[in-house]
Amino acid sequence: MAKVFQSACPLNCWDSCGFHVTVDGGKVIKVDGDPNHPITKGKICGRGRMLEKRTNSQNRLLYPLKKIDGEFKQISWEKALDEIAFHLKEIKEEYGPLAVLHSHDYANNGALKNLDQRFFNCFGGVTELKGSLCWGAGIEAQKWDFGDAYSHAPIDILNSKNIVIWGRNVARTNMHLYENLQLAKKNGAKLFVIDPIHNATAKIADQYISVKPGMDGLLAAGIIKEILRLKLEDSKFLNDHTLGFEEFLKLLNSISLEEISKKTEVTIEMITTLAYIFADRPTSIHMGLGMQRYKNGGNTIRLIDALAAVSGNIGISGGGANYANLQVGQSFSFSELTRSDAKEYHRQFTMMKQAEEILEAVNPEIKMIIVTCGNPLLQVPNSNLVKKAFSSVSKLVVIDHYMTDTAMLADYVLPAATSFEEEDIYYSSMYHHYVNYGPKLLEPPGEAKPDLWIWGQLANRLGFGEEFNYSRDEWLEMCIKHLEPFGITLAKLKQQNFIELPVEKIPWEGGHFKTPSGKYEFTSQLGQLKGDSGKLKLSLPEESKWNNPKLAKEFPYSLLTIHPLRSNHSQNYHLLPKEPSVKIEVAQNIAEELQLQEGERVRVWNNRGEIEGYLSILKQAHPNTINIDEGIWTRFGGSVNLLTSNGESDNGLGSILYDCLVNLEKIK
């Protein structure tokens, strides 16, 4: 008989929804929202619902596979684990543990997914990846400005007089914030959307402001200039709680509003209007995770933070420069879980440069790569180079649910359990501050196993099995240990299914910051400690006509690679009812100038690669803007990362995926 269980979404998403999962005859038959969840209230998106298909699909990996003479053959777990352990041991003895690279990403947000790090730390320490494909530059920026990256509690938006959604399509990526926007509007708040694309969120805005991609920081600087000219700044906050404002003023005086208007392609009248909106407190800013994916990305987020500070919207109810909420993840005890103290050796490659670093590594060379929770062949920029690097090692092991592009390249593919087939806890450090519990609801199909089982088995074979000799309850208790003084226990979490974490709901109230000076730092001391001047800059994207006119002449269009509507990154494309293909969305002016029609086959290219697809004309997008959704599998047309750069942002070793100029033509 069908039974409904409370559970949680494991996907790397803003919303971290509560689920009701219906199970019948040992199979998930439906995934729905849990109406009792205080934030997500029974509503979930199609990506979450598709976990039913992801769990049940006939194409799941069911057995360990080994590539023999270019073909995958089924082998037993015993043999697969013995051989992988043998290779790990042999490589460690001959070259040292750093000849192994661990490639990890965030396909599953379960807290116990971090136990892969415990395995590699206890192994002696392997080469790891540092930096971020996504939000890294912005996180670092907020650490420089505030001391950490914190957001207001979701409900506080109802205290905002004005709400600015900046570079974020919440209708697609954060549906519960979208609901709160509608509620806030009903209560009288005004909604403004700043974005190069008139997206679904812009449709409900009181005003939409179109900006040239990558120029958001400069736009923020223009708004600050107008706030100061109109004497609308919060002088008390600036005097009492900030450091380096005089230096910032000099920077602002070095550029005219006319020049800002020309570069951002936003009119001076609109910049003045925005100055009045920000000064009409409380105004909250809700930033997306795209604006930092430029060479100038960290500085962009810093200038938007500075706008919130100058306009007096920091530390007040209804305000905030909301980007991420790291205090959620900081509630858990990961150092004990991952045994970061156990590693003897240490080497890091950067996320963006990993392909070059794998190919060039010496002392030791990379001999083996183990991939967990990721699909680097599609998600890491400059895919051609990534493929070359991952093909160059003698042993590639991939743990996954499906035969992804990365798995196709592997020597061993190990079938993993999905989230409904193992117990874990889930949270998101992007939006709300509840931790959710996900029980084990069914057995994995075939011989698929939880990652944790795989690590324990390998650890046994390598002589440190005692490090994995804990029950699930013991692991979970280790994880939430520091929450016990707040009355949060595993028993309570299992009983209630979700618990509010003890975090600040209005960060920086009272003007106390986590920076070295304790103040909001326009000139960052942390930045200085890291070898930067710490000063704000008026920097622009690397690939722009202002920084590289020759390149811009050859490749006149700005390429964005936004998150798809129906897939969490690359995870769902193969499960969609209709076979996906590459859609190339272009601003109207491009279609007009090149005389292109909807649906025509076009080619997009630059010096790094090319991709083909069908044309879709965006009704309202900033001139010369193109978008291709990220994550598309090679068999469906290929990843847009064939075109993107593997350069690094100005801080935080973030990606510069959007700092990308391309050209486009019709395929004859």
Give whichever of 19 and 513 is closer to ligand SF4, judged by the CB atom.
19
Give whichever of 44 and 91 is closer to ligand SF4, judged by the CB atom.
44
Helix (H, G, I), strand (E, B) or coil at 60: coil
Give whichever of 44 and 560 is closer to ligand SF4, judged by the CB atom.
44
Report the b/e string of 407-419 with b at 16+ CB within 10 A. Answer: bebbbbbbbbbbb
Q: CB of residue 163 vs ligand SF4: minimum separation in angstroms?
A: 20
Give whichever of 43 and 241 is closer to ligand SF4, judged by the CB atom.
43
Q: CB of residue 493 vs ligand SF4: minimum separation in angstroms?
A: 18
Q: CB of residue 568 vs ligand SF4: minimum separation in angstroms?
A: 6
Q: CB of residue 343 vs ligand SF4: minimum separation in angstroms?
A: 33
CB 435 within 8 A of CB 499: yes
Q: CB of residue 632 vs ligand SF4: minimum separation in angstroms?
A: 18
Give whichever of 16 and 299 is closer to ligand SF4, judged by the CB atom.
16
Residue nearest to ligand SF4 (CB): 48
Amino acid at 546: W
Instruction: In whole angstroms, give the CA distance from residue 109 to residue 427.
Output: 7
Pick from 610, 619, 623: nearest CA to 663: 610
Q: CB of residue 158 vs ligand SF4: minimum separation in angstroms?
A: 20
Q: CB of residue 19 vs ligand SF4: minimum separation in angstroms?
A: 7
Give whichever of 338 and 428 is closer to ligand SF4, judged by the CB atom.
428
Helix (H, G, I), strand (E, B) or coil at 134: coil
For 350-468, where are the alpha helices, taking DSSP H only?
354-360, 376-379, 383-391, 405-408, 451-462
CB 573 within 8 A of CB 631: yes
Beta bridge partners of 516: none
CB 661 within 8 A of CB 634: no
Give whichever of 46 and 446 is closer to ligand SF4, judged by the CB atom.
46
Strand duo 434-438 + 498-500: pairing: antiparallel
Give whichever of 16 and 264 is closer to ligand SF4, judged by the CB atom.
16
Report the b/e string of 552-563 with b at 16+ CB within 10 A. Answer: beebebbbbbbb
Q: CB of residue 17 vs ligand SF4: minimum separation in angstroms?
A: 3
| Cis before 364 (ω within 30) | yes
Q: Which stretches of the chain bind ligand SF4, using CB under 6 A?
A: 9, 11, 13, 15-17, 44-45, 47-48, 175, 568
Alpha carbon of residue 661 to chain centroid: 22
Within the chain, what is the greatest distance between any pair of CA atoms?
73
Distance linking the first and last C-alpha atoms of the chain: 58
